[in-house]
Amino acid sequence: MQSLQNHFLIATSALKDGYFERSVTYICEHNEDGAMGLVINQPLEISVPELLKKIEIPTEDKVFEKRAPVYAGGPLSTEKGFVLHRTELGWRQSVNLSKNIMLTTSKDILEQMGTDLGPKDYLLTLGYAGWSAGQLEEELKENAWLTLAANEAIMFDTPIHMRWEAATALLGFNPWQLTSEIGHA
């Protein structure tokens, strides 16, 4: 089995699930037991400062980007937060996912967001996407997903509404060329 950790899953038109339509999912873990990922292009109607206030983390004297959205990371455990960020040490529950990307789930990173001590580039998600053993491999066989090595520029620098198109373009074709139909000669 080839692990897809540190890869993107790009939803194709064969994926009829409304939740994942036109989604780009960063795969955090993939092994014989299944896979776990975070959708990186579905913002929720709440910003990072609004979420922090809801969970009683002070936001005074903190600076956030104009919108600083929170993302719907997936349909599972939507009450749990996950922070994907460039590799920076200093938080209690961080895992290196690649040379340049970490995942942190501890509250201490939330307390530092918007300060010089917090991560500069990050995606805060609520929930995650998960696949049981063999499930993702079956979906790949059914042409539900395209795969691509993760690209930090798409994660952190590309506008949200352009991430699906940008990821697809790295594969060498335009999104309009995708179809759920397969032909037989």
Residue 176: predicted pLDDT: 60
State the pLDDT confidence band at 91, using cuts at 50, 70 and 90: confident
CA-CA distance, 161 to 89, in Å (whole number)?
30
Q: Between these two residues, 131 and 17, which has the higher pLDDT value?
A: 131
SS3 146: strand
Give tens-digit pLDDT for 144-164. 999 999 999 999 999 999 999
CA-CA distance, 100 to 152, in Å (whole number)?
8
Which domains are assigned to the chain? 7-177 (3.40.1740.10)
pTM of the model: 0.91
